Amino acid sequence: MTKDIKTSAPPSGGWGAGLALDVCLTPALIPLYNVSDYIVVVIDIFRATSSICYGIENGAEAIIPVSEVEECAAYREKGLDYLLAAERNGEVVDGFDFGNSPFSYTPEKVLGKTVVLTTTNGTHALHLSRKAKKIVIGSFLNLTALCNWLKMQNENILLVCAGWKNNFNLEDTLFAGAVIEHLKTSGYVLDDPAIAANDLFQVGKADIAKYLDKTSHGERMKKLGIEKDIAFCLQVDLTTAIPVLNGDRLVKLV
Amino acid sequence: MTKDIKTSAPPSGGWGAGLALDVCLTPALIPLYNVSDYIVVVIDIFRATSSICYGIENGAEAIIPVSEVEECAAYREKGLDYLLAAERNGEVVDGFDFGNSPFSYTPEKVLGKTVVLTTTNGTHALHLSRKAKKIVIGSFLNLTALCNWLKMQNENILLVCAGWKNNFNLEDTLFAGAVIEHLKTSGYVLDDPAIAANDLFQVGKADIAKYLDKTSHGERMKKLGIEKDIAFCLQVDLTTAIPVLNGDRLVKLV
């Protein structure tokens, strides 16, 4: 079984030869995968995983993903080094420091701090993936750095799209397709959702912002007045840090 | 709310104006939809819903979808008018009359008969959709007849892809995209999975057989030696009958 062989040189066909490159289109489908066989990449590009990439790049000591607003609020008592970020349905919850906007994750705000983050979809996907060999965070911001690292791991890869309320969304799927675009010539075996994600990326890649404009989330974002956030999250390779889950916190992969 | 208005003439924008045209990518996601708000089209083109369309067209009195092989076997005692079709993992179960191959659903075999059918994925989707306003069966065989009928209903439409073992598959999604191609100029509002399905149809439509050749199911089909079935199931508009669920049985919509 190629899957179990660790080599110091890429096998013929590339690093990923014979390994699985799968896409889980929504957190509701995670139970269909044996996540312990994979490195999982969690994807919630509008805006949780983009903000996480940006925050870790900008020197946040850690970002702690939690499922519930109450769990987030409980960190208030632990001291001033914690910044509390809570968002539901795309809006900052009353009484919290901030939500998911990447503009809240600048060096001025997060350097040396620990951010406690609860979001609608991304945190949910993270928690359901906790048995993975490793969980890393992906977004257009760290696309190339992430893919270069993934290629070197010689492991099965599962791209988990956070989606919207447990259902499929286009933006996370399109990003999964962008990751596949980087990896597909390395010999990985793609499942049907991975083939679909990459084909959708081909359809949208010439102008991703325009393509996503027709989606449901694009509409929601416009209503919330956060088009600037969308444009920010679609910047490719603004960062190189790869956030990785270590215990209950996301830290910079070193 | 446009959704509740029944008119004898199409509203401006077409019959579907303001109505939802949604795609449920796998049976695992059906609970995310309030199916009682929709006409549901169940899609399992390789091969259950293609065979159902062909069988109903060819004069089968009814096709009874059941979930379990044992449930199917129990009909043996009810007499000789029942043909028992059971398939698991793409192969006929020992002791049954036939499985899912459309070539088993010719007039010579099914005219005047009731077929009891259990399949891996399609029956599962049917059962989970049972609260819908109406459940009809779709495949490339009855594509245009189905779409013309759907357009006239002035209802929300949910295209339910049976998928493969509760996960996404390309063939059913591509067919959903073909239905959307027929309906999308009538003013329906598409959800993200519907947009994706239609875009994938655009990618594959020039040569659907070739496009699907790269999928996991295509590989499975080849191993089972049923490429002829696939070619048969990709024929467009071979039939005009629309199978509809009436109680526990699929019959011809009149």
pLDDT tens digits for range A72-119: 888 988 877 799 998 777 678 888 888 889 999 999 999 999 999 987
- Inter-chain residue contact B192 with A26, CB threshold 8 Å: no
Nearest chain B CA: its distance from A28 CA (Å): 7
**Greater model confidence, B126 or A142:** A142
**What is the pLDDT, as a whole number, of residue A214?**
76
Look at A175 and A126; give whichever has higher pLDDT: A175
**pLDDT of residue B169 exceeding 70:** yes
Q: Is residue B217 less than 8 Å (CB to CB) from chain A?
A: yes
Chain B CB contacts of A202 under 8 Å are 203
- Neighbouring residues of A47: CB distance < 8 A, sequence distance ≥ 6: A100, A101, A102, A226, A229, A233
Q: Which residue carries 């970002």 as its tokens?
A: A63
Rounded distance between C-alpha atoms, residue A37 and residue A29, angstroms: 16
pLDDT at position B4 is 44
Whether B167 and A199 lie within 8 Å, measured CB to CB: no
Query: CB of B155 within 8 A of CB of B41?
Result: no
- Give the Cα separation of A59 and B67 in Å (integer): 54
- β-sheet bridge partners, residue A246: A249
**In CATH, what is the architecture of A19-57+125-252?**
Alpha-Beta Complex (3.90)
pLDDT digit string (tens) for B27-54?
Answer: 999 999 999 999 999 999 989 999 999 9
Check whether the bond before A47 is cis (ω within 30° of 0): yes
Q: Which residue of B has its CA nearest to A172?
A: B192
pLDDT digits (tens, 9 = 90+) for A15-24: 777 999 999 9
Residue B187 — left, alpha, or beta (φ > 0 → left; ψ -120 to 50 → alpha)? left
pLDDT of residue A5: 43
The reported pLDDT for the residue numbered B11 is 64
B55 close to B63: Cβ distance less than 8 angstroms: yes
CB-based contact, B189 to chain A, within 8 Å: no
3-state secondary structure of A104: helix
Q: Which of A190, A229, A210 is nearest to A44 (CA)?
A: A229
Of A154-168, B5-19, B95-109, the range with the lowest mean pLDDT is: B5-19
Smallest Cβ distance to A32: which of B166, B191, B214? Answer: B166
CA distance A97 to chain B (A): 31
The mean pLDDT of chain B is 90
- As a whole number, mean pLDDT of residues B172-177 equals 98
A–B: how many Cβ contacts below 8 A?
71
The lowest-confidence range among A153-162, A212-221, B12-21 is A212-221
Contact B54, B233 (CB under 8 A): no
Distance CA A168, CA B173 (A): 13
Q: What is the ipTM of this complex?
A: 0.92
pLDDT in tens, B59-87: 999 999 887 888 888 898 887 779 999 87
Give yes or no for B162 touching A (CB within 8 A): no
Closest CA to A35 of A137, A160, A120: A160
Tally the residues of chain B.
254
Q: What are phi and psi of A203, to 5 degrees?
A: -65, -40
Check residue A31 and report its DSSP letter. G
Alpha carbon distance A33, A13 (integer Å): 25
| H or E segment and range at residue A227 | helix A227-233
H or E segment to which residue A156 belongs: strand A156-161
The SS3 call for residue A79 is coil
Q: Which residues of B touch A32 (CB under 8 A)?
A: 28, 165-167
Domain B17-53+125-252: top CATH class: alpha beta
Nearest to A216 among B173, B191, B202 (CB): B191
Domain range list for chain A: 19-57+125-252
Contact list, A200 vs chain B (CB under 8 Å): 196, 199-200
What integer is the mean pLDDT of A147-171? 96
Q: Which of B47, B60, B10, B15 is nearest to B171 (CA)?
A: B47
The 3-state DSSP class for residue A194 equals helix
Q: Could B195 and A202 be called an inter-chain contact, meaning their C-beta atoms sit closer than 8 Å?
A: no
Nearest CB among A26, A165, A192 relative to B215 is that of A192
Over residues A203-211, the mean pLDDT reads: 95
